[in-house]
Amino acid sequence: MDYFDVVDSRYSHKEKFLSDAVPLDVLEKIAKAGLAAPTGMNSQCVKLVILQNREEVEALCQVVSTDGMLTAPAAIAVLTDTEAYKDSPYNFEMEDYSAAATQMLLAATALGYSSLWLDSPYFNEKEQKEARAVLGASDKYHLRVVLPIGLPDGVGSRREKLPFKARVSYGVMGK
C-alpha cells in the first residue's frame, strides 16, 4: 500500500474488533516496522511483546479493562529498557517508543488492520506493575503503550482535524 494512502487511512480505532485471529506473520511484520524506527543514539531501547491470541490479551485486560482492548484478538505491548540511557546525558525513551508505535500503527493499517495508541491505562504505578508482571517484564522495563490489533468491526470513527494552514507556517510562525 502506498505510503501516503497508509497515512491517510490510519485512525485510532476505539470501537469493536472482529474476533478473527491475526496471523503471526502479520504481527511480526508490524513488529518489524516498529523496530525499524529511529532511536536516540541508536539505543534500540524499545522491546516488544507480541500477544497472539485473545487469551493473552485477556490477561492484560484483567489488570485494566479498557474499551480498546475488550474485543482485540491480538496486541503488541511496547516497553522501554530504562537502563538504555543510563550512561548518557540524554534520555530518549519517550521519543523512541513513540516513533516505534507510530510505525506499527501505520504498518497495521497497511496490512488492513486497525489499532490504537493505548497508554493512559498503564500510567498509574499499580497498573504499571501488574501489567509488567503479566508480561513477565522486570522493573528494568517500563510498559509504555499497548497496541490492540485486529480487523475492525465496521467503520471506525475519525476525529476532525484542524485545517493545514492552522498548523503550518512558512519561514516564520503565523506566515
Binding a copy of itself by CB under 8 A: which of 33, 61, 69, 75? Answer: 33
Least distance from C-beta 168 to a copy of itself, angstroms? Answer: 5
Q: Which helix (H) or strand (E) holds 48?
A: strand 46-51
Please tell me whether residue 29 binds a copy of itself under the rule CB under 8 A. yes
Least distance from C-beta 153 to a copy of itself, angstroms? Answer: 20
19 alpha carbon, distance to own chain's centre: 20
- The interface with a copy of itself within residues 41-60 (CB under 8 A) comprises 42, 44, 46-52, 56
Q: CA geometry: angle at 145 spanning 139 and 148, to 5°?
A: 125
- The CA distance from 150 to 26, in Å, is 10
Binding a copy of itself by CB under 8 A: which of 65, 124, 157, 169? Answer: 169
- Which residues in 25-48 are b (16+ Cβ under 10 Å) and which e? ebbeebbebbeebebbeebebbbb
Whose cell is 516496522? That residue is 33
Please tell me whether residue 154 binds a copy of itself under the rule CB under 8 A. no
- The interface with a copy of itself within residues 85-104 (CB under 8 A) comprises 90, 94-95, 98-99, 101-103
- The CA distance from 94 to 78, in Å, is 11
Q: Provide the residue count of the chain.
A: 175
Which residues of this chain interact with a copy of itself, rule CB under 8 A?
Answer: 1-4, 6-8, 10, 12, 28-29, 31-33, 35-38, 42, 44, 46-52, 56, 79, 90, 94-95, 98-99, 101-103, 105-107, 110, 117, 119-120, 123, 135-138, 141, 159-162, 164, 167-175
